[in-house]
Chain A
């Protein structure tokens, strides 16, 4: 499946000639944080309690900050390779001027908010992966990546604590919350395969000592998920279930186009505006 997706992937990247496995890898990290942050931005004023209003903005803010760091590094590398000669390449350019097929975020990050169980389920499945990945990346052979990962890890650890607690509360709360949480989990599960999938770009990063061993990440992710779901009295869908993948190579669900249309409209409507 992943090879098929790779073969069919639209090779029309922002800096086609200069995009390296490293920049692609950074875009994956940055885009997932950016897109998930954008889902949080959509939640402003809609939380079930004031405390959650703050928490959702807080998590979104962390994710946008991480996106800015990853994309900023990617932009520097692309610019250094002479990419994007027509425009100044910076984090904003990458965030606001690329189309969906150039985005490299995980599909789980772009899933719609739905109800609070969908939001927390999405966050938990992502956080459980994110924490372990960042923990590995903090030891990266690329010092810049190690630095950003170490900072992001502190934030992601807090995010995981919160999302785990909510999955447990909803799973082991009322009958209604249990039903909703289980449904959310079942619906989101098909996007978890992508978290654990390794393709050519990941492989290149692993060989360079930039990215951590995927087997370890997968094992830790599974352990975290199993522990929390058990405490939450929720049933874990099968690891062998069919998995929907493609985000990492620019093949997204139908949701991303709308998300970007909203997010990018100002820079696109006013292309001459260089500062805001």
Chain B
């Protein structure tokens, strides 16, 4: 759950000499690994990039509740229901931390949520894929949260203090979810019936490539990465993180006794890394642009929750005002 494609508004890096004195001081602070805090001066583009990234990240947590919420009423045992519900609750909590971190930059939560609802703001493309069987609850924990963790662990050292600190809390919970997800799959593969095993493989087939896409476009296609890395918002390139994820995930796939839907996947003895086939970038950009299987449904679900709840929020505000008047 994170941000995939964040505009920084610049594809060309300034050298220290080209910077204003303020910018230069800011960049030197970053180079020295000193965290930027809300009251520190920062370039406008840094502020805007972070608002975009953190809000995307927050939106991803919230939209990410929907594909899992889809199975909450149908979880097959009480234990799994409890786990899934606790996980979804954690995600709502992550959304709240992240919106708070974003607000330290002067952004307004409601305005950013409006952007999500009218299509101006993005969220992770993975949540535009449907959850079609119970094993998807395991696969999302294992692959999707797994990919999110690989992205988020370096963000614990991101240059903006409030974001870095939010990530420390988020990562702890995400690691727990990932183990739980893997456990769901392992149980079905090791103790389950043929039907259950088939569910697991089907789920992996559907979520494998979308999970690899969670790391964003390949490096040669990431014009905004250089600036994000110079500002140390990002600490590693998309392809680096994707490779790291794949290297740690393939042995777990083998332990499950499942296969990846990638005929080109193989281990390279010389490099010590797994090699994999070509990602369908057309699909990736389609989904990011709003043309994935569930994009419309997801945004509509969020929008209608907020619209249908307007009278409730108005009531809470009206009541608070009355109370204040009575106390005065």
Q: Which residues of A contact B (CB under 8 A)?
A: 38, 41-42, 44-54, 57-58, 60-61, 64-65, 67-68, 71, 91-92, 95-96, 115-116, 168-170, 172-174, 176-177, 180, 262-263, 265-267, 270, 272-276
Contacts and interface: CB of A to CB of B under 8 A. Distances in A.
Contact of B187 (A38, A50, A276): A276
Nearest to A181: B315
B78 A48 contact: no
Select the residue from A61, A115, A272 with max chain B CB neighbours within 10 A: A61
Contacts of B66: 44-45
Contacts of B166: none
A177 B78 contact: no
B65 A53 contact: yes
A65 B81 CA distance: 10
13 contacts: A42-B73, A45-B305, A48-B309, A50-B96, A52-B309, A54-B96, A57-B85, A92-B78, A92-B79, A169-B316, A177-B314, A263-B73, A270-B196
Select the residue from B69, B73, B96 with max chain A CB neighbours within 10 A: B73
Contact-residue bracket for chain B: 35 or more
Contacts of B187: 275-276
Select the residue from A44, A52, A53, A92 with max chain B CB neighbours within 10 A: A44
A263 B74 contact: yes
Interface stretch (B87-95, B146-154, B204-212, B268-276): B87-95
A173 B318 contact: yes
B312 A41 contact: no
Given A51-B96, A169-B315, A263-B74, 9 more contacts: A52-B309, A53-B65, A61-B82, A92-B78, A115-B308, A172-B322, A274-B191, A276-B80, A276-B134
A48 B319 CA distance: 16
Contacts of A267: 76-77
B160 to A, nearest CB: 22
A71 B79 CA distance: 13
Interface in B277-327: 301-302, 304-306, 308-316, 318-319, 322
Nearest to B322: A172
A9 to B, nearest CB: 26
A205 B172 CA distance: 45
Given A47-B309, A276-B187, A61 B86 contact: yes
Contact of A50 (B77, B79, B95, B301): B95
Is chain A's interface secondary structure helix, strand, loop, or mixed overall? helix
A45 B69 contact: yes
A164 B312 CA distance: 15
A56 to B, nearest CB: 9
Given A96-B76, A177-B314, A273-B195, A169 B88 contact: no
Nearest to B86: A61
Contacts of B310: 48
Given A50-B96, A275-B187, A173 B316 contact: yes
Select the residue from A115, A169, A262 with max chain B CB neighbours within 10 A: A169
A170 B315 contact: yes
Contacts of A49: 309, 312-313
Contacts of B92: 50, 53-54, 57
B85 A174 contact: no
A44 B195 contact: no
A99 to B, nearest CB: 17
Nearest to B191: A275
A180 B311 contact: yes
A265 B74 contact: yes
Contacts of A46: 301, 304-305, 308
A275 B271 CA distance: 40
B96 A48 contact: no
Nearest to A170: B315
Contacts of B96: 50-51, 54
B244 to A, nearest CB: 31
Contacts of A170: 312, 315
A174 B74 contact: no
A266 B72 CA distance: 12
Contacts of B246: none
Nearest to B315: A173
B196 A174 contact: no
B305 A276 contact: no
Nearest to A61: B85
B79 to A, nearest CB: 8
B101 interface: no
Given A44-B72, A169-B316, A180-B311, A64 B80 contact: no
Contact of A60 (B85, B95, B308, B312): B85
B155 interface: no
A109 to B, nearest CB: 15
B192 interface: yes
A116 B62 contact: no
A266 B76 contact: yes
A12 to B, nearest CB: 24
Contacts of B305: 45-48
